[in-house]
Structure 1
Amino acid sequence: MHAMTFAALFALASAAAPPWDAVVRIEVAAVAPSYMRPWEKAAQQRQGGTGFLVDGRRILTNHHVIENAVDIRLSKTGNSKRWRARVVAMGPDVDLAALEVIENADEFFADLTPVAWSYELPPLQSRVTVRGYPLGGNAQSVTEGVVSRVDCKNYRLGATSSISPGRSLVVQIDAAINGGNSGGPAFDASNRVIGVAFQGIDGAQSIGYIIPALLARTFLTAVVSAPKFRLADVPFRIQHLENRGLRRYLQVPDRVTGVVVSAPNDVITHLDGVSVGDDGTVPLRPGERVSLDYLITSKVHDAPTELSILRYGRSLTLRAQLVPLPPPLPRWHDFDCTPEWVIIGGLVFSPLTAPLIEDASSGGVRSYVHDIFTREVGAKNGFNTEPAREVVVLLDVLNGGDVNHGYEAEGWKVLTHLNGQAVESLAGLYFLWQQATRDGAAFLEFGFGGGTERKIVLEQAAPG
């Protein structure tokens, strides 16, 4: 009896695939758009990363691994064959994407088992193993380290980092995360996935970041019903409440902590029953505090949220179901925007988007780009106060004839009117232009608001 039981257990253990067999290599052919010259595209490039099998025959990876992909191929450990795949869900807010195999899927999944997830944040100093396919070789790579810190981080980098939905939980580890590791799993000592590798810091040693399993599972749950995932936005901007004069002005008792949100100067003291510190942090675990943002950005959409506030000494409770808010600008290429343009008499107009800002800032942020971004986003505290309006900018003047001779591109200008009528979107601009043409308007007068910009007037048709 004992021999049979041992044999059965041994056979079962031998048949079970090790968890790292679920880790696959991703090879991508990508074509990046150009938002500065929206009718053009960049040359095709090769990029790669790592993914791993999760329930539902999906491969989880980073969004930046498959960004701009025109062809995706997967390969397994110890197998030279490539299988075609496609993106079926994406969440650029959390840098995650899900893939499905689109040919010979049964063959691909025959000897693979989905990973097992960890359902708690890893303790500090606990062991972590990162598996993936970094640069420098074709075989699967293994790096080990420990959990150094759990914190909150803005997942959006670059010139438009301020338009992110809010900061989200991130786990810092000292195991190496190099180019190609992105999208790979990080395992704990029990071979459970505690997160998804997604970022290192150039020039820094032993600092890597993984997306916690909590966020990855939230993403996978949400995209079952909708292929595009967005975080619930943090619906307020805070000011620390550490100044004694400010506390007295707002009638905050000495033992009460919290943060200030403007209009009407409410003080948030608790979020979902969790006490908020004067510096905007909340307890995560004993001895650890992180930004209060994570209590919102870790939630699935429509989850109930409760705010306890003080309004000039009076206690109030606000309850709501938080959802993604209209962003101040479209945030992501091929998610909520694509390159669009209208050319009228050599004047190139395009919507103002975050990818356009990033494209224009690739060699450093130009002053006119910074000015427009500050006016359209920064002055509104990062919120979209006019969701029906699409900001249209004059990108360039393509000289080459009498019609626009004498007009030169002097940096971007926000278009506000055409022949005295308000421009609310690029489609609206096109409609007004066509209407003026049908009505036989002799001139097109482009207004750029403020009264200080030089006007641009084009003659519709040369005199006979």
Structure 2
Amino acid sequence: MILLALISAMIGSVIGAYVAPNYLYGRYIPYPQAPGIQGAPQRVEIVTRGEELTVIPAVAKKALPSVVGITTVTLERDIFSRTRRGQGVGTGVIVDSRGYILTNSHVVNDGRSEEVMVLFYDGENLKADVLWNDPMLDLAVLKVAAQNLPVADLGDSDKLTVGEIAVAIGNPLGLTFERTVTAGIISGLERSIPLTQFESIEGLIQTDASINPGNSGGPLLNAEGAVIGINTAKIQTGEGLGFAIPINTARPIVDEFIERGEFTKVYLGIRGINVQQYIQSYGDQLGTKQGVYVHQVTPETPVARAGMQDGDVIVKIAGQKIDTMGQLVRQMYKYRPGDSVKIEIIRDGEPVTLDVLLEAAPRSE
């Protein structure tokens, strides 16, 4: 009898101490309340509903529908002078719902591709036309016959700071790995990478997000999912060094295509080389170590009418310092036909300022 009582007591203590608080109270019987205390806390079970996204998955979810794969076919000649079809793969980003797509110039073989196809997020494949490209900027605008396409938000690359999140989307190593997402930070700004002895791409965004062949033309995004750059794998450097062309370089071009359906480039009317290149070939006799040496002024052009001469050195445009031909080309994309700019030159060692009225570039320019 005593043993039965002990066993019953033990079972009761287990129920009271463990089973009741965890399984009975709050479900089948109310919680006991201490004397004099009203509304003792109840056991609350929290159920999470909906999606919980961190920054990178949220950026990817927002941007992926506007990222496209690009395949190209180019006719090439082999060592036996036989024509063969070469194929290429890259990435692009939709910048207008009517079918305008931004990518790299080298993705479309600098406009020389025989065929350009665009693969969309929903699996549709459409032929594209190359409306514009510039190898020096390494940018191109394509157009497909489509409407109501998902569009990427364009950010402001002038507001970037080193250390902020950067997310790259592209097709590394071909469409087998289409729409791969990689992430890192903004590692540096205003980077200049030489391509040849006298040619470089300047003003680049540096990131440690992985950018490989096939990523070219895809977007570099900030934490809000806005495009801050166009990735380029044209520049092959060390591991952990990726580069993107700031979106603000492309924005004037994109905006004019969206507004007018075409882009009108302005021109100066010169043939020029970097001053550094001139110095290496002919010696230091220009009165400046940076700028663009004007080898030839074409008659009846904007700068000819403003009084520019062969042998002048362009050092500033609208107050913006010009050290190289690449900087001059990028600067000119900010202007439209009819704009007037002040161009500062060095002539015979002396500074001169010219007022230049810009005109639309001839088709051959």
SS of the residue corresponding to residue 209 of structure 1 reads strand
What residue in structure 2 maps to residue 24 of structure 1? 68
Measure how far apart 1:22 and its partner are: 0.8
| TM-score, normalization by structure 2 | 0.59
Note closer, same or farther for the CA distance 1:270–1:116 as it changes in structure 2 (3 Å cut).
closer
1:202-217 → structure 2 map (5 Å cutoff): 202=236, 204-217=238-251
What residue in structure 2 maps to residue 187 of structure 1? 221
Measure how far apart 1:31 and its partner are: 3.0
1:216-365 → structure 2 map (5 Å cutoff): 216-223=250-257, 224=260, 226=262, 236-239=272-275, 261=293, 270-274=316-320, 280=323, 293=328, 296-302=331-337, 303-309=339-345, 311=347, 315-321=351-357
What residue in structure 2 maps to residue 84 of structure 1? 126
Measure how far apart 1:196 and its partner are: 0.7
What residue in structure 2 maps to residue 450 of structure 1? none
What residue in structure 2 maps to residue 401 of structure 1? none
Q: Deviations over 1:4-61 (max 9, x none)?
A: xxxxxxxxxx9xx712321122233x132449988x522x243211111112431222
Root mean square deviation, CA, Å: 4.4
Q: Is the 8 A contact 2:317 2:343 kept in 1?
A: yes
Q: Following the alignment from structure 1 to structure 2, what is the Cα–Cα distance between the partners of residues 54 and 260?
A: 33
Query: Is the aligned partner of 1:135 residue 2:173?
Result: yes
Note closer, same or farther for the CA distance 1:305–1:195 as it changes in structure 2 (3 Å cut).
same
Note closer, same or farther for the CA distance 1:297–1:32 as it changes in structure 2 (3 Å cut).
farther
Q: Is the 8 A contact 1:91 1:228 kept in 2?
A: no
Note closer, same or farther for the CA distance 1:227–1:167 as it changes in structure 2 (3 Å cut).
same
**In structure 2, what residue type is equivalent to 1:211?**
I
Q: Following the alignment from structure 1 to structure 2, what is the Cα–Cα distance between the partners of residues 76 and 197?
A: 18
Aligned with residue 144 of structure 2, among 83, 101, 107 = 101
Q: Following the alignment from structure 1 to structure 2, what is the Cα–Cα distance between the partners of residues 146 and 325?
A: 39
Q: Is the 8 A contact 1:271 1:295 kept in 2?
A: no
Structure 2: state its 5+ residue gaps: 1-57, 295-308
**In structure 1, what residue type is equivalent to 2:191?**
D
Query: In percent, how many aligned pairs have the same letter?
Result: 23
Measure how far apart 1:122 and its partner are: 2.3
SS of the residue corresponding to residue 181 of structure 1 reads coil
SS of the residue corresponding to residue 168 of structure 2 reads strand
Measure how far apart 1:207 and its partner are: 1.9
SS of the residue corresponding to residue 253 of structure 2 reads helix
Q: Is the 8 A contact 1:31 1:70 kept in 2?
A: yes
Structure 1: state its 5+ residue gaps: 1-13, 282-289, 327-334, 337-386, 388-464
Note closer, same or farther for the CA distance 1:310–1:37 as it changes in structure 2 (3 Å cut).
same
Aligned with residue 156 of structure 2, among 112, 118, 138 = 118
**In structure 2, what residue type is equivalent to 1:307?**
I
Note closer, same or farther for the CA distance 1:121–1:321 as it changes in structure 2 (3 Å cut).
farther
1:2-13 → structure 2 map (5 Å cutoff): none
Note closer, same or farther for the CA distance 1:319–1:139 as it changes in structure 2 (3 Å cut).
same
Measure how far apart 1:203 and its partner are: 5.7
Q: Deviations over 1:275-305 (max 9, x none)?
A: 67xxx48xxxxxxxx9853663443354433
Bigger Rg, which one: 2
Q: How many residues align?
A: 279
Note closer, same or farther for the CA distance 1:41–1:62 as it changes in structure 2 (3 Å cut).
same
Q: Is the 8 A contact 2:345 2:351 kept in 1?
A: yes
Q: Deviations over 1:390-424 (max 9, x none)?
A: xxxxxxxxxxxxxxxxxxxxxxxxxxxxxxxxxxx
Note closer, same or farther for the CA distance 1:268–1:63 as it changes in structure 2 (3 Å cut).
closer
Q: Following the alignment from structure 1 to structure 2, what is the Cα–Cα distance between the partners of residues 203 and 193?
A: 23
Aligned with residue 50 of structure 1, among 91, 94, 105 = 91
| TM-score, normalization by structure 1 | 0.48
Measure how far apart 1:146 and its partner are: 2.5
Aligned with residue 74 of structure 1, among 101, 106, 118 = 118
Note closer, same or farther for the CA distance 1:18–1:275 as it changes in structure 2 (3 Å cut).
closer
Measure how far apart 1:230 and its partner are: 8.4
Q: Following the alignment from structure 2 to structure 1, what is the Cα–Cα distance between the partners of residues 238 and 252?
A: 30
